[in-house]
Structure formats: structure tokens, C-alpha cells
Amino acid sequence: MDRQILIIILSTAVVTYLPRMLPLVILSRMRLPEVFLRWLGYVPAAVLAALLAPGLLLPEGKISLTGNPYLLAAVPTWIVALKTRSMALTILTGMVAMILCQH
Amino acid sequence: MQPQDEIVPRNVTVAPLMWQGVRAALPIVLGYLPLGFAYGVLAREAGFNLVETVLMSVLLYAGSGQFIAVSMFSSGVAAAAIIFTVFLVNLRHLLFSASLVPYLRRSRPGALALLAAEITDETFAVAINHYRDHEAQLPYHFALNLAAHSSWVLASLLGALAGNFMGDPARFGFNFALPAMFIILLVMQLKDKKTLIVATFAALFSVVIALLWPGSWNIILATIIAATLGVILEPWTGKF
């Protein structure tokens, strides 16, 4: 097994496990500052938007607004996500839309 | 992984609760199968071998985190940057974990430490929804988590095996599985205008930083800036 890959797997597993485990195990006794909890409340939406936007707008590392299959496929995907709120249907729509947009 | 007797009432047997958990996992499994498969294919493309690909699904078990890790790895990003990005991306689990405390506080810390290993966006969403009108039950929760995790590991394995002879994964639309998952998760996060404003800031900063400073720090920086702006702007955005 590649040493570099093994380090990545083990380290990412640990740094992912700690935030999953610590609040559930110790928070019944300790409380986080209220302002930090509010800050944390924004993190999921912010992370997702920060991940998504460059993937859609900069597929090759440069701004691409026309003939960009990622941007085109995002339209039906977003509509299905809003209408159905179903993860399976949204992913399926996205993948089918991507196949159609690329050909 | 023994169910915790202290929160299971004596007249309730464990098997029906576990079955309930497995059934509740079904929509998650449907979502995880194509996504885990896509991860398996992409991990092999990125240079992971079969064991490494599956090991990451067993130990890390975080959809977006795994996609980010393998795609950063394939573009030659340093391990430290990969680890820190995955940490930040998965920091959201703090919030899920904290939100489960009121329901599960009577359970033993050891059981909770084990349960926490399989918290994902989806298992959290299903469980917290269930607990609105049901008493929290560890057998239900463990079964839900294990069913979802097993499907993820299995799908990764299948993707990793198929990766060898599938050719370009983009041909099958797998290159859009991750953006599609981010879209549905983001749509589910946008519960009010404050959050919408923060997400817009994050998207904007992420694109601008990515253009100015190639690498992958745009995700971390944009998230920290946007969430901080969200708190700072609350006196104004709170009115919405």
C-alpha cells in the first residue's frame, strides 16, 4: 500500500471522526459559546456553496459561462432538487443531464 | 455494537427496532449506491488501489470528503492540504453531533462514540426527523447507520472493480454525481434568507479566490469568510 495514500486515509479518518464524536460524547456537560454555534450553523451551507460554485463555473480552472456542460446540467438538477428534495432522484437527474449535455 | 439496554424499554424487543432502522436507511442507500460507485471509479482513476479505495470508505466514510481527497490527490496536492481541507469540509458534523445530544444524552459514552463514527448528512437528517415523534432508540440508530455505511462500502467496492474496464467515467455522467449531491444538500440547507446570503457569499469568494490563487484553499477561506460574515451581518440579515 502506498505510504502517502495510507497517511491520507488514516489522517482524514481521524480528523473527520473527532468532530463527529466529541460533541455527542462531551457536550452534555460542556457548552460551546453561543456565537460559535451560530457560526457553525452557517458552515454547512457555506462549505457546500464554496465547493459547488467553482466546480460549475470553472470546470477547466477558467470562467466558462457558455457551452459549459457542468452549468447546463446543473439547471435540471437544481429544479429536481427543489421539487423532490430526493437525493437519489437529484443525483440520477444530474448524471443523465451530464451525459446529454456532453454529447 | 450491542444495543444499549438502558434506553430500550423492557417490553420492546430489539429486532423490530433494528428492522425499522434498516427500512429508514433505504432512501439513503438509493442515493449512496451511485455515489459510492462513482467514488470507487474516481479513486481508481486517481491512483488508489482496490484496498485503499475500500479502506477509505470504511474509515473515512464521508461522501464529499472522499471525493475531495481523491481529486486533490490526483492533482498532486500535498497531503497536509488534503487533510486540512477534508477536516474543514467535515467540520459540519460537529453541528449534527451536537444536535443529537438532547435525544441521546441518556446513552453510555462508549455507545455514543461508536454511533458517532457513522454520522453523515443523510443518516443525521433521517434520524433527527424520526426523533421528532419517536423516542430515541440506539438499535434503530445503529441499524440505520450500519445499513447506510454497508451500502457505501459495497458501492465503493463495485465502483473500484468496474473502474478498471469502464474507461472514462465522464461518459456515464459520474463526473456530475458529486456536484449533484452538493446541489441537493445545499438546497436542503437553504432554510432561510440569512443562510442564502451566506451561501451566495461563499460561492462568490470561492470562485474569486480560486481564480486569484489556484490550489484548494478557496474552499476553506471562502467558508470561514462567509460564515463569519453571516454572524457579523446578523443584526441586519436577522430582519429577513
- pLDDT one-digit tens code per residue, B25-84: 887 887 788 889 989 998 998 999 999 999 999 999 998 899 889 988 988 888 998 999
Kindly list the domain boundaries of chain A, sorted by start residue: 32-102
Same domain, B43 and B154: yes
Q: Please answer yes or no on whether B49 and A1 come within 8 Å at the CB atom.
A: yes
Quote the minimal CA–CA distance from B12 to chain A in Å. 25
Q: What is the pLDDT of residue B240?
A: 55
Q: What's the helix, strand, coil split of chain A in %, to 5?
A: 80, 0, 20
Name the 3-class secondary structure at B136. Answer: coil
Q: Rounded to an integer, what distance in angstroms lies between the CA atom of residue B70 and that of residue B40? A: 10
Q: What is the pLDDT of residue B63?
A: 86
Q: Which of A95-99, B32-36, B142-146, B192-196 has the highest mean pLDDT?
A: B142-146
Beta carbons of B226 and B197 less than 8 angstroms apart: no
Domain count, chain B: 2
Q: Which of A29-43, A52-66, B18-32, B145-159 has the highest mean pLDDT?
A: B145-159
- Which amino acid, one-letter code, is at B166? M
Q: How many CB pairs under 8 A join A and B?
A: 282
pLDDT band of B165, cuts 50, 70, 90: low
Same domain, B89 and B125: yes
Q: Rounded to an integer, what distance in angstroms lies between the CA atom of residue A49 and that of residue A55? A: 10
For the CA atoms of A63, A92, B127, B129, what is the dihedral angle to 10 degrees?
A: 80
Last residue of one domain, picked from the residues B140, B172, B204:
B172
Quote the minimal CA–CA distance from A81 to chain B in Å. 5
Same domain, B121 and B231: no
Question: Does A79 reach chain B within 8 Å, measured CB to CB?
Answer: no
Q: Rounded to the nearest 5°, which phi and psi values hold at B85?
A: -65, -45
Point out the residue among A43, A74, A91 whose CB comes nearest to the CB of B31. A91
Residues in chain A closer than 8 A to B207 (CB atoms): 53-54, 57-58, 63
Question: Does A48 reach chain B within 8 Å, measured CB to CB?
Answer: yes
Same domain, B45 and B107: yes
Q: What is the pLDDT of residue B164?
A: 63
Is position B4 within any domain? Answer: no
Can you tell me the ipTM of this complex?
0.84
- pLDDT one-digit tens code per residue, B114-153: 999 999 988 887 888 788 789 999 999 999 999 999 999 9
Residue of A nearest to B106 (CA): A28
pTM attached to this predicted model: 0.70
Same domain, B133 and B77: yes
* CA pseudo-torsion sign B31, B33, B39, B42: negative
Beta carbons of B229 and B198 less than 8 angstroms apart: yes
Q: Which residues contact B142 (CB under 8 A, 6 or more apart)?
A: B1, B3, B18, B21, B114, B115
Residue B195, domain extent: 190-237
Vertex A27 angle, CA A21 and A31, to 5°: 140
Same domain, B224 and B137: no
